[in-house]
Structures are given as C-alpha cells and as structure tokens.
Amino acid sequence: MEEKQQEEKYDLNKVYDYSEYPDIRSGRCDNCDSAAFKNSVSNGVFLRECRKCGMKKSI
C-alpha cells in the first residue's frame, strides 16, 4: 500500500499567533489534526509545536 502525503494547509516555517489563528478544533493541530505538542516558554512567549507536522503557534 502507498502512503498518501498529507497536503500542508499552512506554512510550517512560520510561527502563527493564536489570537489571529485560533484552533479550528480545540487542542488539535490545524494542519494535521494531531493532539501531541511540544511546549516551550521563552521571553514570556508560550510556543506550541505539533510533534507530527511541526506547525508552531504562539499562545
């Protein structure tokens, strides 16, 4: 069986602002619908990165 490449809906090199791009489904990645994230805080900014596709949002 061939695995389909998922179409990317967002530019994964960009960090999106949550206030401009809130979650389509709460707690899920807008790009791949995964619920697994890596979180970090730097200079008072909370950054959430999807473990599956790498989409980033500053919360």
| Res 3: pLDDT | 47
| Gap between the Cα atoms of 11 and 4, Å rounded | 19
Return the residue matching tokens 């389909």. 4
Q: Which helix (H) or strand (E) is 8 found in, with range?
A: none
Return the residue matching tokens 């805080």. 41
Task: Write out the residue range of the structural domain in which residue 49 sits.
Answer: 15-58
Render pLDDT for 32-57 as a digit per residue (tens, 0 to 9). 999 999 999 999 999 999 999 999 99
10 falls within a domain: no
pTM to 2 decimal places:
0.81
24 falls within a domain: yes
Domain count for the chain, please give it.
1
> What is the full DSSP assignment across 21-47?
S--SSTTS-TTT----EEEEEETTEEE
44 falls within a domain: yes
Return the residue matching tokens 């791009």. 21
Amino acid at position 39, single letter: N
47 falls within a domain: yes
